[in-house]
Chain A
Amino acid sequence: MRNATRKIKVSFKPKKKKPAVIKVKDIRKYFKIGRRKVRVLRGINLEVKEGEMIVIFGPSGCGKSTLLNVLLGLEEPTAGDVEVLGEKIYQLPLDERTRFRARRMGMVYQQPIWIRSLSVLENVAFPLLNLGFTKEGALRRTGRILSELDLAQLGHQYPTTLSGGEQQKATMARAVVADPTIILADEPTGNLDTKASSEVIKILKILNQRLKRTVILVTHNPQYLHLSKTLYYMEDGRIFPTSPSMISKRLTKTVV
């Protein structure tokens, strides 16, 4: 299916070398809070190409997390088209969309969430069980991923006994275990100290550069602006292509 998708993309966009894995066209998301209508996304257009790493930067409350949830198939937009790997995900029935997400997309949250009764190894293997793997197969593959990310020693511990940094690294293993094409990270270093943060970022880089995954990093930490050439700034439900220098100018203006 992935190959077929690529072909279609290529035919649509003959100029580009790499096909788009995510195509978002004019999405809007409104929430009703009481009588008030809150416009969280006000016409987002975005294209992410395969193997690319993009950084979306923006203040809290700008709609970053909602955008990620829309991309993940968890939050149906009020209007607009979302196409992931050539699939119009909101046209899929709920359970199929869930499966699609499990197979194609990995997610890292600011706050790691675990199935507390399962070991790290079992937690990381969990998405594979949902995809119909046998337990043995799932654990073997999980073990390999953990050692690749240098986390093998954490496998038999329980997630809640780990430090924040270790937990976050383990959730990254969980995000990639099903070999997804796209990895979405929502403030993955938000709760971590500098050392743990840089380790997490290092893993993201490995995933993108060595393992050729498409990575979408959402952050409000200006330190990570240099991570990618493709940088977006998000504000009040709108998104703009930008550069680190433009953002620093903007930030100084806001502070002043």
Chain B
Amino acid sequence: MKKKYLFQIAFKNLWFRKIRTIVTILGVVVGIGAIVFLVSLGYGLQKMTLSSVGTMELLKTLDIYSEKSTIVKLNEGAVERIRDLGHVEAVAPLINLGGKIKYGEKETEGVIYGAEHRFFELSEMRLVAGSGFTGDLGEAIVNASTLELLGVTNPEDILGEMISSDLILTKSVAPKLKEDKQTMKDLEFKVVGVSSAEETAGVYLPFFKMTSLGVENYQLSKVKVDSEDRVEQLRIQIENLGFRVDWVGDTIAQVNQVFDIFKVILGVFGAIALLVSALGIFNTLTVSLIERTREIGIMKVLGMGGKDVRSLFLIEAGLIGIVGGIIGVSIGYGTGALLNYLFHILAVRAQAEPVSIFYTPILFAILMGFFALLIGVITGIYPAVRAKRIKPLDALRYE
């Protein structure tokens, strides 16, 4: 018999026993839906975490620190040496001092940084307000965490205002100091930008302002490599110079590893549900086989070959699988999308950054559809082979 007629008859058989078919398909829907929903949660959380770790450009950026115990200092000479290694697109050091930040009557302790605008680019720091340094050494960028402590609610309000700062210099950053420690009081700066919130209050001053005060050693330096392939090589070269190197790629690899395990665990939970639904298909087909024994007999008497009988059962099993799979994927995806939507609404209301915690890669969705088909066909093999082997006379005599 032509395959398309087998499909039509299989479809009619399933439709004839509607309730049983629907319940069986529902089992597959629950199983596949559970896997898609849970693994999408894994993918979503992974994506969310990775996007907070950084972008692709950040993968070309290394963070260089001077090891505390060594005598190798991260200073202008070191920056030059690194630049000379080749394949370096940019180097942007950061100076880090302790100090106070004052605005009007209010003051707070905080970190006083020295950085060029380059540094902001390489670390992908975003300004919440203002336009950033223009080159004038009397300018400052404060972070949003500082504003709260200084009693400023709207970042725009502080733009163009004067703030003052106390800086504590130590011999470790400024080796030429006469004393171990020296505080420079009430240096005045005009605020030209507000950067996003950080863990501590902080203010960024122009890099050369800091060096003019005698600072020679940097806390860290960002190094941008001209291509991602060179990262590993340059990293080793810099480590050989005696510096510690951090790379966001390590973090990403760790995050991915953790989430791969997480997704497998979620997938296993879903797979248990799917196993139950596979037993459901098996049960339905076996019951159907027994119930239709005489029917199989007459089909064979009327000229249907054993292979066609087997195909008929496999097609019925496959149809249950694929229909359940498509609905299951849709429901698993849909539930995630709905929850994403609800979280977005909540986030907007709470004035927080909207996030998507469910993410279903299209390839994964398609794969799950095929997986459902496969589960259907595999569970259908036993009843189908039994149906093929049944002798027509035995089948006709079956009561």
Residues of A within 8 A of B (CB): 69, 72, 74-75, 94-95, 98-99, 101-103, 107, 109, 113-118, 122, 126-127, 129-132, 134-135, 174, 178
B294 part of interface (Cβ distance < 8 Å): yes
Contact of A174 among B294, B302, B308 (CB under 8 A): B302
Residues A74 and B12 in contact, CB atoms below 8 Å apart: no
In the complex, residue of chain A having the shortest beta-carbon distance to the beta carbon of B308: A130
Which of B9, B305, B392 contacts A95, CB < 8 Å? Answer: B305
B2: interface (CB < 8 Å): yes
Residue in chain B with minimal CB distance to A131: B303
Output the least CB separation between B399 and chain A (Å).
Answer: 10
Neighbouring A residues of B305 by C-beta, 8 Å: 95, 98-99, 130
Residues of B with C-beta under 8 A to A122: 12
Cross-chain contact A109 with B9 (CB below 8 angstroms): no
In the complex the two chains form, is B299's CB within 8 Å of A115's CB? Answer: yes
Q: Say whether A115 contacts B298, CB under 8 Å.
A: yes
Per-residue interface assignment for chain B, residues 83 to 126, with 1 indicating a CB less than 8 Å from any chain A CB and 0 otherwise? 00000000000000000000000000000000000000000000
Contact residues in B for A114 (Cβ distance below 8 Å): 295, 298
Top 7 A-B residue pairs of the complex, sorted by shortest distance between their CB atoms: A102-B303, A117-B16, A130-B303, A113-B298, A117-B12, A127-B302, A117-B13
Closest chain B CB from A180 CB (angstroms): 10
Chain B residues with CB under 8 Å of A101's CB are 301, 303
B393: Cβ under 8 A from any A Cβ = yes
The residue in chain A whose Cβ has the minimal distance to the Cβ of B393 is A74
Q: Known interface pairs A72-B301, A75-B393, A98-B300. Does A129 touch B5 (Cβ–Cβ under 8 Å)? A: yes
- Whether the pair B295, A99 counts as a contact (CB closer than 8 A) is no
Identify A126's interface contact among B294, B299, B392, CB under 8 A: B299
Is B242 an interface residue when CB atoms closer than 8 A count as contact? no
Judge whether B341 is part of the interface by a CB distance below 8 angstroms. Answer: no
Instruction: Knowing A75-B393, A116-B16, A117-B13 are in contact, say whether A99-B301 is a contact too (CB < 8 A).
Output: no
Residues of A within 8 A of B1 (CB): 129-130, 132
The one of B8, B15, B302 in contact with A130, judged by C-beta atoms closer than 8 angstroms, is B302
Question: Told that A115-B295, A130-B1, A132-B2 touch, could you supply 7 new A-B pairs with CB distance under 8 A?
Answer: A95-B307, A98-B300, A113-B294, A113-B297, A118-B9, A129-B2, A130-B308
Q: Is the Cβ of A135 less than 8 Å from the Cβ of B298?
A: no
> If A113-B294, A113-B295 touch, does A118 touch B12 (CB 8 Å cutoff)?
yes
Do B306 and A95 have beta carbons less than 8 Å apart?
Answer: yes
Indicate whether A135 sits within 8 Å of B303 (C-beta atoms), given known contacts A113-B294, A115-B295, A116-B295: no
CA A199 – CA B301 in complex, angstroms?
25
Distance of B385 from chain A, by nearest CB (Å): 16
| Cα A199 to Cα B299 with chains together (Å) | 26
Return the contact of B5 from the options A75, A113, A135 (Cβ within 8 A): A135
Check B366 for interface membership: any CB of A closer than 8 A: no
Q: Tell me if A74 and B303 are in contact (CB < 8 A).
A: no
- CB contacts (< 8 Å) of B298 on chain A: these are 113-115
In the assembled complex, how far is the CB of residue B269 from the closest CB belonging to chain A, in whole angstroms? 37
B396 touches A109 (CB 8 A): yes
Query: Is B304 at the interface (CB under 8 A from chain A)?
Result: yes
Determine the chain B residues whose CB is within 8 A of the CB of A132 once the complex forms.
1-2
A residues near B12, Cβ cutoff 8 Å:
117-118, 122
A131 to B2, CA, bound (A): 10
Contacts of B9 in A (CB 8 A): 115, 117-118
B-chain residues with CB within 8 Å of residue A115 when the two chains form the complex: 9, 295, 298-299
**What are the residues of chain A within 8 A of B13 when measuring CB–CB?**
117
A113–B295 CA distance with the chains assembled, in angstroms: 7
List B contacts of A118 (CB < 8 A): 9, 12
B299 close to A74 (CB less than 8 A): no
Distance in Å: Cβ of A135 to nearest Cβ of chain B? 6
24 CB < 8 A contacts A-B: A74-B301, A74-B392, A94-B306, A95-B305, A98-B300, A101-B301, A102-B303, A109-B396, A113-B294, A113-B295, A113-B396, A114-B298, A115-B298, A115-B299, A117-B9, A117-B13, A117-B17, A118-B9, A126-B302, A130-B1, A130-B303, A130-B304, A130-B308, A131-B303
CB pair B295–A102 under 8 Å, yes or no, is: no
**Which B284-300 residues have C-beta < 8 A from chain A?**
294-295, 297-300
Please provide the chain B residues from 10 to 29 with a CB less than 8 Å away from any CB of chain A in the complex: 12-13, 15-17
In the bound assembly, the distance between CA atoms of A134 and B5 in angstroms comes to 9
Nearest residue (CB) in A for B301 is A107
Q: Which residues of B contact A130 (CB under 8 A)?
A: 1, 302-305, 308
Q: How far is the CA of A129 from the CA of B7 in the complex (A)?
A: 13
Q: Is B393 touching A69 in the complex (CB atoms < 8 A)?
A: yes
Roughly how many angstroms separate A2 CA and B302 CA in the complex, as a whole number?
Answer: 20
Chain A residue contacts of B2, Cβ below 8 A: 129, 132, 134
Residues of B with C-beta under 8 A to A134: 2
Check A127–B306 contact: CB distance below 8 A: no
Q: Determine which residue in A69, A75, A109, A116 has the highest number of CB atoms from chain B within 10 A of its CB, and name it.
A: A116
